Amino acid sequence: MTDTIETTDAAASADRPVDPTYRDASLSVDERVENLLGQMTLEEKAGLFFQTMIAMSQDGELAEANPMFGLPSNEDQVIGKGMTHFNVLGSAPSAELMAKWHNTLQELAASTRLGIPVTISTDPRHSFSDNPLAGMLSGPFSSWPETIGLAAIRDEALVERFGDIARQEYTAVGIRVALHPQIDLATEPRWGRQVATFGEDAELTGKLGAAYIRGFQGASFGPGSVSTMTKHFPGGGPQMDGEDAHFEHGREQVYPGGEFELHLKPFEDAFAAGTRQIMPYYGMPVGTEYEEVGFGFNKSVVTGLLRERYGFEGIVCTDWGLISDAEIFGEPFPARAWGVEHLTPRERVIKVLEAGVDQFGGEAIPELLVELVEAGDISEERLDVSARRLLREKFVLGLFDQPYVDVEHAGRVVGSEEFVAAGEAAQRASITVLTNTATDAGAPTLPLARGLRLYVEGIDEEVAAEYGTVVETPVEADVAVIRTHAPFEVRSSTFENFFHQGSLAFTDEAVAHLREVAAAVPTVIDVHLDRPAILTPFVDDAAAIVGNYGASARAVLDVLTGAAEAKGKLPFDLPSSMAAVEASREDVPFDTKDPLFRFGHGISL
């Protein structure tokens, strides 16, 4: 008896003749889109709708499966799933290897029936964050302060220059979509995502967010651009008690101050700047006129507010993982289907598409979308609406005409001397001097003289030795310099600890240690302000306190010794107590009672 092999639609489509008209660059984008769309099978269309994580190899070849994040091999994703949009995780040792991997991946995509090129996106990767689903270390790229640090500098031209440099570095290695800027308002001091925002003020956020978009997308959007996916519409800052919506205990966004409209203001500036894509957040609005479901499922927000009120015609992509449960680091990570947890994955997909969304972030289930169309639950005409937007972006970015990058050029551009110097200058400029008390001689503590005996914590002793003589104990020192971090609570899951959440108060042990050192020697405390820290318990003990938002030890020491000017101004209030934080309203800026330092504070040396 001969075994019979069922021929799938995907396999049968491989033999279909291809009309190459869509490859003719002399035709309009609309003509090319319609020609290609008319030739696509249902399976090929479905592959466009899913943008998930992809592993980058370390050697420029295709990557194998990544068990830590449950990712299949590159080949399985492009050939097996038929997907063409990917959010790249990790980095390679050099820009050349990143570019080579990108080209190898594009060669794989070119081997498919229609040869649709892949679009590579990324979370921010120009600073000091190390969070697998929010931001990555800069690696080969130039290193800058976090976005909140750019806000501390308050310079639109600098932000646009950063965007332009990042655009050049991204495009050199084949990254064409930025999953940023994040223009949420940091109105809840405990929220764990504010390090990637422009702070608490709506006007400043709007201006700097627009400059950021202009830098990434360029003077005119096209083959040299990086498409910005601005997030998180309609503003992800008002998280109840500051708990992030990646997790069930942070699913609710609340507006006790009635400031829903305020959180839209930065997006109005982003639309005016021409942002190409929008990402709604995970959270579900509570106590508003909008449906109480996560924003990615929310037709009243995506269609009613974004599409109809603001007339946005670009791509809307959900935040990552709204449909399917997953595991990260071997621990359960349920789908962020807030308000629709009772729905099946099939029903969630339908609700997202009915809301007006074009693409599913962090999902890789095109076969489910095919089933829904074949069952009559979703029309193919509905798919075509979003497929046109997704294909158009690829054409306008020039991916069909030049999908490959120049490996040698990537090595020259990424991390160039000019770009690295610009990033380091921004790190120094962002540092904010909060206090600078007088010494016994009557002069201010800062700037420090070079060559002093230094006791340091949180600083590599070899680096500190470039500025003075490093000693072992505070009593031997002329001055102590201690680098520390805004407090956060340790949480039960590995992944949640990448998000700094909970109390902003230093522990009793940490306060006692800082006071002990300060009692022995004049002490300068440098606090990494990825969130507002409560400095009240030791503000009067330190000789000086400065805040940084992602800066190297050399950048900090350059400022402390007067070799560079600190230009930073606080991008948010620093509360005086946790009681004031807990009494504040999540959606209202500058709402903690009697803040220790106010927005805009910063001492010039």
Rounded Cα distance between 50 and 365, Å, is 7
Task: Considering the candidates 201, 319, 530, 587, report the single residue annotated as catalytic.
Answer: 319
Three-state DSSP class for 357? coil
CB 340 within 8 A of CB 348: yes
Per-position DSSP letters for 259-321, written without gaps between them = -TGGGGHHHHHHHHHT--EEEE-S-EEESSSS-SS-GGG-HHHIIIIIIIIS---SEEBPPS-
Q: What is the C-alpha to C-alpha distance for residues 319 and 357, in angstroms, rounded to an integer? A: 11
Q: CA-based Rg of the chain, rounded to a whole angstrom?
A: 25
Helix (H) or strand (E) holding 368: helix 366-374
Strands, E assignment, 317-439: 326-328, 331-333, 360-361, 432-436
Which residue has tokens 């003719």?
24
Q: Which two tokens stand for residue 407?
A: 């490996």
CA distance 174 to 60: 13
Rounded to 10 degrees, the C-alpha dihedral 388/214/187/507 comes to 110
Question: Which amino acid would we find at residue 335?
Answer: A
φ, ψ of residue 462 to 5 degrees: the values are: -65, -35
Find residue 481's DSSP bridge partners. 456, 524
Question: Could you confirm whether 587 is annotated as catalytic?
Answer: no
Check: CB of residue 148 under 8 Å from CB of residue 183. no
Burial tier of 438 (Cβ tally within 10 Å: 0-12, 13-18, 19+): exposed
C-beta atoms surrounding 421 within 10 Å: 11
Helix axis angle, 95-110 to 156-173, nearest 10°:
60
Could you tell me if 58 and 91 are in contact, meaning their C-beta atoms sit under 8 angstroms apart?
Answer: no
In 404-558, DSSP assigns E strands to 432-436, 452-457, 468-470, 479-485, 523-528, 544-548
Q: Tell me which residues are annotated as active site.
A: 319
